[in-house]
Amino acid sequence: MKFIAHIDIMPHDALLDPQGKAVEGGLAKLNLSTLTQVRVGKHIRLQVEADNSGDAGALVDSACRHLLANTIMERFQYRLEELV
Amino acid sequence: MKFIAHIDIMPHDALLDPQGKAVEGGLAKLNLSTLTQVRVGKHIRLQVEADNSGDAGALVDSACRHLLANTIMERFQYRLEELV
């Protein structure tokens, strides 16, 4: 079975996000100051080949922990979509 | 009303994504070669203050077009979540 994994990797809420702060400043200069509390992270989409969604989830979890996310500074979440 | 906007900004499918290719190589070295077709983009979360979800969507759309996304190379999509 094939799945598409949509992964979001974001800085922990407790940490300062300088990139988000910079974007917030830019938005304010564009008269978009009603947009606040900007946090910038990564979005990763990939295809998984696995026997079932449980196995696919385990593979994606392993990839996030070992390569994609720095779990000291970032948290990740993902959703799987089955390819038909 | 306050909303949280979850924005995904991804490279167009027709374009090469060198960062995604590099991640794919890294995954293969971690014995995760069943994870393929990696695309890396940005995930942005921000808070919107607007009268209704239509106005909030228009603000987020404007922010994406004018600052957050390079619409020549990237496409964006977002979903709004009402803060209660």
**Residues A35-63 pLDDT 10s:** 999 999 999 999 999 999 999 999 999 99
Which pTM was predicted? 0.93
**d(C-alpha B32, C-alpha B24), whole Å:** 9
Query: Chain A contact for B63, CB < 8 A?
Result: yes
- What number of CA atoms fall less than 13 Å from residue A50's CA on the CB side? 21
Q: Name the pLDDT band for A83 (thresholds 50, 70, 90).
A: very high
Q: Would you call B45 and A41 a contact, using CB atoms and an 8 Å cutoff?
A: yes
- A59–B30 C-beta distance less than 8 A: no
Query: Greatest CA span in chain A, whole angstroms?
Result: 50
- Scored b (16 or more CB within 10 A) or e, A7-33 reads bbbbbeeeeebeebeebbeebeeeebe
Chain B: give the shortest CA distance to residue A8, in Å: 7
Taking CB atoms and an 8 Å cutoff, what residues of chain B touch A24? 46
The partner residue sitting opposite A35, judged by closest CB among B24, B40, B59, is: B59
Q: How far apart are CA A62 and CA A15, in angstroms?
A: 24
pLDDT for position B47: 97
Cβ distance of B42 and A46 shorter than 8 Å? no
* Closest CA relative to residue A20, chosen from A10, A5, A31, A34: A10
Q: Which CATH architecture has domain A2-83?
A: 2-Layer Sandwich (3.30)
Q: Do B46 and A66 touch (CB under 8 A)?
A: no
Checking if the pLDDT of A11 tops 90, the result is yes
Shortest CA gap A69–chain B (Å): 12
Residue of B nearest to A48 (CA): B35
The mean pLDDT of chain A is 96
- Residue A84 clears pLDDT 90, i.e. is over it: no
Give pLDDT, residue B72: 96
Judge: B35–A43 Cβ closer than 8 Å, yes or no: no
DSSP conformation letters of B14-31: TS--HHHHHHHHHHHHTT
Percent of all residues in chain A with a pLDDT value above 70, rounded to a whole number:
100
Chain A residue whose CA is closest to B57: A35
Give per-10-residue mean pLDDT for chain B (84 aa): 97 96 97 97 97 96 97 97 92
Instruction: Give the per-residue pLDDT at B13.
Output: 95
pLDDT reading at A80 higher than 90? yes
Parse chain A into domains and list their residue ranges.
2-83
